[in-house]
């Protein structure tokens, strides 16, 4: 049978300190025998893409420029 989890004010304060300020991430609380023994905090940082990165990430549209790798290969063959 599982032991009831007891959280005193010290652990409440520790948990609140770990959770506060996180925009993206997780807080993992590890419990052994009904007692908190560990708190893990993983924080993620997300960066906005610059307009150039957004354009580079978009797939090429039909009728647009071709594949730059293929085009450069054609240029190399034409130069030979």
Q: Hey, which residues does 30 pair with through a beta bridge? A: 38
Residue span of the structural domain in which 17 resides: 1-45
How large is the average pLDDT for residues 9-30? Answer: 94
Per the domain annotation, does 35 fall within a domain? yes
User: What is the pLDDT at residue 61?
Assistant: 61
Predicted confidence (pLDDT) per residue in 25-46, tens digit? 999 999 998 899 999 999 998 8
Residue 1 lies in a domain: yes
CA 51 from centroid of its chain's CA atoms: 20
Average pLDDT of the chain, as a whole number: 81
Which is more confidently placed, 61 or 64?
A: 61
Within-domain flag for 2: yes
Query: What tokens does 13 get?
Result: 């304060």
Residues paired with residue 35 on neighbouring β-strands, in sequence order? 32
Structural domain tally of the chain? 1
**Nearest by Cα to 16 from 32, 4, 31, 27:** 27
Q: Report yes or no on 33 lying in a domain.
A: yes
Q: Model's pTM, two decimal places?
A: 0.54
pLDDT attached to residue 68: 59
């Amino acid at each position: 049978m599982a032991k009831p989890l007891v959280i005193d004010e010290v652990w409440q304060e520790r948990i609140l300190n770990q959770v506060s300020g996180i925009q993206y991430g997780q807080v993992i609380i590890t419990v052994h025998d009904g007692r908190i023994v560990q708190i893990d905090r993983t924080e993620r940082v997300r960066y906005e893409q610059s307009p150039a990165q957004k354009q580079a990430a978009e797939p090429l549209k039909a009728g647009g420029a071709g594949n730059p790798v293929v085009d450069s290969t054609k240029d190399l063959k034409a130069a030979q």
